[in-house]
Amino acid sequence: MEAATFNGLGIAPDILKELNKKGFSVPTPIQLQSIPPAIEGKDVIGIAQTGTGKTLAFAIPIIQKLISSPSNGLIVLPTRELAIQVNESLEKIGRSLGLRTAIIIGGDNMNRQIRQIKSNPHIIIATPGRLIDHIQRRTVSLHKISILVLDEADRMLDMGFEKEIKKILVEIPRERQIMLFSATMPPKIMDIAKIHMQLPIRIEVAPAGSVTKNVTHEIFFLKQTSKIALLDTILKKHIGSTLIFSRTKFGAKKIAAQIRNMGHTASEIHSDRSLRQRLTALSGFKTGKYRVLVATDIAARGIDVTNIELVINYDLPEAPEDYVHRIGRTGRADSHGHAISFATPNQKFTIKMIERLIKKQLPVSKVPVLSQDSYSDKEAKPNNTENRRSFHQGKGAHSNANSPKNSYGRADYLGHSSSDRRLSSGQNSNSRNNFQTDYKGKRSRPDSRLSNKTN
């Protein structure tokens, strides 16, 4: 069978020329199915796992529609890093065509963003909290928006941005096109689609919760205090680029320091680092300056780093869906990757929940003989007091959101703008709430009524 091309999808000749120049010749399934109806102006719901080319699936239609139009486009997404990545993709295709963009994200200079807005960009790329800040200050108007893209919509809801998304949907004109892309499709997203979208075309190239076939999996059950010694052993065995996920920003910082002490180059990204520091760490990881990058779940989605050979879940994710997003950083496109997870003996139920979601049994490996004389992981282990405090937050005890000792890492969802620092109530996704409910009686979990937001 002849391979599909971008020809015949309704793409303008000038954009096709740029795609060929940049080496885009064969569309991915999500691109092949999403681009034609999006170019026709229809509302689209795209469901695809990470690494499948969702960005180009909405970038091509939005560029084609707006490059010669007096109206504007708006792309809303959960994190600063993803906003910058999407902007790079848009510029790669549209820069030579005269495309102008503005990035509105927390942690960046507000006056610089105002200047970008005043330059009348074709497309605004924004995180929800900072966009609401601009709307409230009346430094941005959405009355000329003709096309809205909600990228990683489930992640935004999971981070507590439901109120902001609804406000944005109210601010834009009633006559508009909406494209919604997500890796999973919880009921809250479907509710938004029913209210705000007109007969949307649903395109699902992979079932929600599915994982790429290019990734192999491995689990080690061990004590918390043995994790760093096992990490040392693994990094000696696997010499390729490695992305490590920590539950907390405190843990990420400590793990990165220990990895450097092992003799490896490493950096970390979490909410205690400035936007410039995070971008520098990502750039260094992409170019090979750092072999290892340690991150909290702020990097689980939207970070476009190719050829990551190994993903390590040093701490298991807080929700099963996050396992899918984490390991989606490896095995992208046609490459192959490996995912290793560390689990303590009392986390067997957590593993079962992940297996239920991905419909796959995760193989357990025997822990090798470890020498722990040089290692101590006691600092990274949440103490019982912290666990009790986290569990009882919903009963009147409010934790300090800036504390690095938040035992489940929710402090990593802090941004720099005022909207990003607000605490939300009851806005976790339905799937996450189910996940926490299943744990009652099993182990202490943070109350789902308190969650921190990030951009």
Q: How far apart are CA 78 and CA 298, in angstroms?
A: 9
Mean pLDDT of the chain: 81
Architecture of the structural domain at 215-380: 3-Layer(aba) Sandwich (3.40)
DSSP-based three-state secondary structure for 130: helix
Q: Are the C-beta atoms of 178 and 85 separated by less than 8 Å? A: no
Task: Name the percent of the chain lying above pLDDT 70.
Answer: 77
Residue 15 has pLDDT above 90, yes or no: yes
Q: What is the pLDDT of residues 440-450, one digit of tens each?
A: 344 444 433 33
pLDDT at 207: 62
Q: How far apart are CA 258 and CA 227, in angstroms?
A: 12
In the 3-class helix/strand/coil scheme, how is 57-122 assigned residue by residue?
HHHHHHHHHHCCCCCEEEEECCCHHHHHHHHHHHHHHHHHHCCCEEEECCCCCHHHHHHHHHCCCC
Q: How many CA atoms lie within 13 A of 316 on its CB side?
A: 23
In the chain, CATH 3.40.50.300 covers 13-204, 215-380
Q: What is the pLDDT of residues 101-111, one digit of tens each?
A: 999 998 888 99
Residues whose CB is less than 8 angstroms from the CB of residue 347 and which lie 6 or more positions away in sequence, other chains included: 221, 316
Q: What is the pLDDT of residues 244-300, one digit of tens each?
A: 999 999 999 999 999 999 999 999 998 888 878 888 998 899 899 999 999 988 755
Q: How far apart are CA 257 and CA 249, in angstroms?
A: 12
Task: Fold for 13-204, please state it.
Answer: Rossmann fold (3.40.50)
Strands (E), 18-66: 44-47
Q: Which two tokens stand for residue 281?
A: 């760490």
Residues whose CB is less than 8 angstroms from the CB of residue 255 and which lie 6 or more positions away in sequence, other chains included: 228, 231, 244, 246, 268, 294, 314, 380
Q: What is the pLDDT of residues 380-436, one digit of tens each?
A: 444 443 333 333 444 343 334 333 443 333 334 334 444 443 333 334 444 444 444
Q: Would the CA dihedral through 421, 427, 432, 434 be positive or negative?
A: positive
Q: Which two tokens stand for residue 27?
A: 């569309």
CA distances from 228 to 231, 372, 384 (A): 5, 8, 21
The secondary structure of 227-243 as a DSSP string is: HHHHHHHHHHH--S-EE
Q: Are the C-beta atoms of 295 and 244 separated by less than 8 Å? A: yes
Q: Are the C-beta atoms of 301 and 78 separated by less than 8 Å? A: yes
Residue 89 has pLDDT above 80, yes or no: yes
Best CA proximity match to 314, nearest among 407, 251, 253: 251
In this structure, the chain runs to a length of 455
Q: Are the C-beta atoms of 253 and 270 separated by less than 8 Å? A: yes
Span 24-29, average pLDDT? 90
Q: What is the pLDDT of residues 343-353, one digit of tens each?
A: 999 999 999 99
Pairing verdict, β 123-126 and 177-182 = unpaired
pLDDT band at 3 (very low <50, low <70, confident <90, very high): low
Residues whose CB is less than 8 angstroms from the CB of residue 135 and which lie 6 or more positions away in sequence, other chains included: 142, 167, 168, 171
Which amino acid is residue 358, in one-letter code? Answer: I
pLDDT at 206: 65
68 phi and psi, to 5 degrees? -125, 30
Residue 63 has pLDDT above 80, yes or no: yes
Pairing verdict, β 101-104 and 215-221 = unpaired
Q: H-helix or E-strand containing 169? A: helix 162-171
Best CA proximity match to 76, nearest among 155, 191, 11: 155
